[in-house]
Structure 1
Amino acid sequence: MFLILLSSVAALAAAPSTIHSAAISHGAQAYTASYHAQSAISLREVEPRFANRGAIPVCRWQADVTVNRAVAAQGQAIPAFGKAIHRFAPMSGSYAGTCAAARHQIDAQVARHVADRSAEAVAVAQQDRAVLVNELDGVRALTKGAVNGG
């Protein structure tokens, strides 16, 4: 039987690193799209219970890595265009001991995973340019129709 002692979700880094940026001119406006790889790690500490021996805690973890887009125009963020554009397959594992003791090892393993997939993350970000331009076209068409009363 397992006793759940701790469950938490934490970001790998306070500020995700920029993996790609793109300048997009659309209509009379200049936009800047920046792409960030971000990791979220969930931890769960369990303690197996045995009748004839002491229990050693085990830290079970899972990490989700996403590529997020942020868009700005004239230095102002436009939250409506910011979103997660890709999610890598989650990774998971376990370490003997407490989650606090294993946290450094988990962070290092996730950081290696993110670094190993950096080329794929950049490719995904570069392919998103066409998607973003289509989204800008859609908003422009909507606002043009609203201005013309149609």
Structure 2
Amino acid sequence: MFLIIASQALAIMAAAVTPVHSTEISHGAQAYSASYHAQPSVSLREVEPRFANRNAVPVCRWQADLTVNRAVAAQGRAVPAFGKAIHRFTPVSGSYAGSCAAARSQINAEVARYAQAKAAEAVAVAQQDRAVLVDELDSVRALTIQG
């Protein structure tokens, strides 16, 4: 029996509320604020193998993705057109004997260690994105200026 559980709201995501990097950009007559968050996303899949001569023990297979997301605001209001995922790290995965509910704390700890190990790289990716965001702002401005 396959039981697929999608879990986007793990306790480790509380750490994703704090931005890994923030920057202010003055562009034209507008001031923009960009914040970058490293957000983990975990998917769990519980598998119960069936054996004819012994009891089935469930196995929890999991995969975690870590993404750096950009959020942009102008005058305190979000500008969704510029918010997006800018980098996705290599996924990390594993499995535990037993149910996914029982393994959840171990999975959370492993994903938190992975996110911590990638923290410096996430900051570097966010810092490099400033030039990309300025180019995007230039492109939109060029489209809106009548000449």
Percent of aligned pairs sharing the same letter? 72
Q: If each structure's strand is expressed as a fraction of its own residues, which one has the higher value?
A: 1
Looking at structure 2, the residues matched to 79 and 15 of structure 1 have their Cα atoms a distance apart, in angstroms, of 22
Once the two structures are superposed, the pairs formed by residues 16-35 of structure 1 within 5 Å of their partners are 16=16, 17-35=18-36
Structure 1: segments with no counterpart, 5+ residues: none
In the TM superposition, residue 14 of structure 1 has moved relative to its aligned partner by 5.0
Structure 2: segments with no counterpart, 5+ residues: none
The letter of the residue matching 2:115 is V
Larger Rg: 1
Looking at structure 2, the residues matched to 62 and 140 of structure 1 have their Cα atoms a distance apart, in angstroms, of 40
Cross-structure match for 2:79: 78
Looking at structure 2, the residues matched to 6 and 131 of structure 1 have their Cα atoms a distance apart, in angstroms, of 37
CA deviations on 1:8-46 (whole Å, 9 max, x unpaired) are: 232332572310000111111110000000011000000
**What value does the CA root-mean-square deviation take over the aligned residues?**
1.2
Q: TM-score, structure 1 length as denominator?
A: 0.92
The letter of the residue matching 1:77 is A
Cross-structure match for 1:135: 136
Cross-structure match for 2:9: 11
Is contact 1:34–1:71 with CA below 8 Å preserved after alignment? yes
Looking at structure 2, the residues matched to 121 and 41 of structure 1 have their Cα atoms a distance apart, in angstroms, of 18
Alignment partner of 1:18: what SS? Answer: coil
Q: TM-score, structure 2 length as denominator?
A: 0.94
Alignment partner of 1:23: what SS? Answer: strand
User: In the comparison of the two structures, how many residue pairs are matched?
Assistant: 144
Is contact 1:11–1:39 with CA below 8 Å preserved after alignment? no
Q: Which of structure 1's runs of 4+ aligned residues deviate more than 6 A?
A: none
